[in-house]
Amino acid sequence: MRNPSTRNQTTDLSRQLDPLIDPLDDDQLLTLVIEAIKEYRRLLQYAEDAHQHWEHAKSASAGESCQLKELERAYLNALKNHQAQMNLVASLTERLGYTPTIDQEGPTAEE
């Protein structure tokens, strides 16, 4: 279950997306959701990689303070992008009514 602030963010985002999503048919919405989920996964991987680079630099004895700050900033930006995409996915899947399962063979419904 999402915390209340995340639910409020999703509700606000849903309202803002309404004019863009309303004209879409079910197939178009499903395609949009699948693309959003794939982007969410890509951003998650990017955030994890940024975190690993930052942690590695912190543990290295020769790490410069300037480089550490830059890596930390890259990691925090990746987290922000990931959070924004997560809110978008939540809003779109709520509108769709289910979360499609995406695997190698294509999407299936998890209702």
Note whether 9 and 86 are within 8 A (CB).
no
Local structure of 60: helix, strand or coil? coil
pLDDT tens, 58-98? 887 655 788 899 999 999 999 999 999 999 999 999 999 99
Q: Is residue 107 part of a domain?
A: no
Q: Is residue 85 part of a domain?
A: yes
Q: How many CB atoms lie within 10 A of CB 91?
A: 23
Q: Rounded CA gap, 6 and 1, in Å?
A: 10
Q: Is residue 17 part of a domain?
A: no
The one-character DSSP state at 107 is E
In the chain, the number of structural domains is 1
Is 110 part of a structural domain of the chain? no
> Using one digit for the tens of pLDDT, what is the confidence trace for 8-49?
777 788 788 889 888 999 999 999 999 999 999 999 999 999
- Is residue 70 domain-resident? yes
| Domain annotation covers residue 64 | yes
The DSSP bridge pattern shows strands 106-110 and 99-103 to be antiparallel
Identify whether 48 is part of a domain.
Answer: yes
Q: Two tokens at 55?
A: 């942690």
Q: Tokens for 78?
A: 């990746």
Assigned domain for 78 exists? yes
Residue 49, domain extent:
1-12+40-97
